[in-house]
Amino acid sequence: MHKFLRAVGFSQYTEKKQVQKLIRDIIIHADERSYTTVGKKTLVAEFDRNFAEDIGIAVCGEFDEDDTYSFDYYLPYLRSDLVSTAEDISIERHAAKESYAGICDDPKVGVSLIFYLQNMISYLKLQGEGKIPAKGTSLNLSALSCQGTIMMPIQKTEWQKKKIAKDAVQRNRLIQAARGGDEEAMESLTLEDMDTYTSISRKIQKADIFSLVDTYFMPYGVECDQYSVLGEITDMKLVTNGLTGEKVHILTLCCNDLNLKVAINSIDLLGEPAVGRRFKGSVWLQGQVNFPEKS
C-alpha cells in the first residue's frame, strides 16, 4: 500500500484487493486522461481522479502496440495553484519506473528541494519536442502528511515582524551574491550564522526550542523527497473525500518564506488548526512545474 494514501482520505484501504478495485475504478471513471508517446511503440498514459477539491489519485501505465493497458503504479496527490518559487529546476527519471523527480535550489530554504514531479506527461511531451531544458519555469509545491501536530505561534510585535522580513530580504541578497562568488557576502553569512548559533546555544538552556525556532524545512528519513517541516498556517480548508467520507485538512504553510500546501487526514492531525498557528510534521513533497507555454 502507498504510505500516503491515507493523507487523501483512504485510511481504511489497507488490503491489496481494495486498492486494485480502486485503481480499476479510477481508470474507468477518470476525471482527466493524459497521453504521450515514448519511443516508437510505447504510449504512456495517466488517469487522474479527484475525490475532493484538489486531492485525488493518479494511475500511471502504458499501452502496448496491441492497445493493451498495463498498470505500473499509482500515487495520491494534492494539486496546488500557489507558485512557491521561480528558481531553476532540474528533472531526472527514477531508476525503477517511468516517474520523475525534480530538484530546485531556493536560497530561502537553505537545502535543495527534491520533489516528486506531478505533471510527468507535460514534461515528456516537451522532452519529445526537444524543448527541455526549459527557461522561465516556476514551481507549485504541495505535500502529503501522515502525521502532524498543531503548535501555537511565537508572539511577535509589528516591529519584530517587519524586522524579520527585512532581514530575510537582506539574507537572500547575500546568498545570491555568495553563489556568484562574492567573498564579502560569504564572510557576512558565515559571521551571521556564528552569531545565530551562539545566541541560540545560550538561550536554549532556559527556553524551549520551539519558542526560539519559528519555522524550519529540513530533510527527513532516508528518502530524498521527504522533509520535516514547521511552518505558519496562512490559509486552510477542510474537504471531504467523496468516496470514503473522511475529512482532510488542506493547510497553506509558510516555511522559511517558502509557501506550499499540505494535505493531512483529520485523524492524523493532533490539535485544532487555525490561521496564525503552526503546523509541525513530516511530509512527502510533490511539485507541478509550470512550463513557459502554461505559466
Tens-place pLDDT, residues 33-53 = 999 988 777 889 999 999 999
Residues 238 and 246: beta-carbon distance below 8 Å: no
Supply the pTM of this predicted model: 0.90
pLDDT digits (tens, 9 = 90+) for 6-30: 999 999 999 999 999 999 999 999 9
Q: What is the pLDDT of residue 211?
A: 85
The domain segmentation of the chain, as residue ranges, is 1-154+214-295, 157-213
Q: What is the pLDDT of residue 293?
A: 65
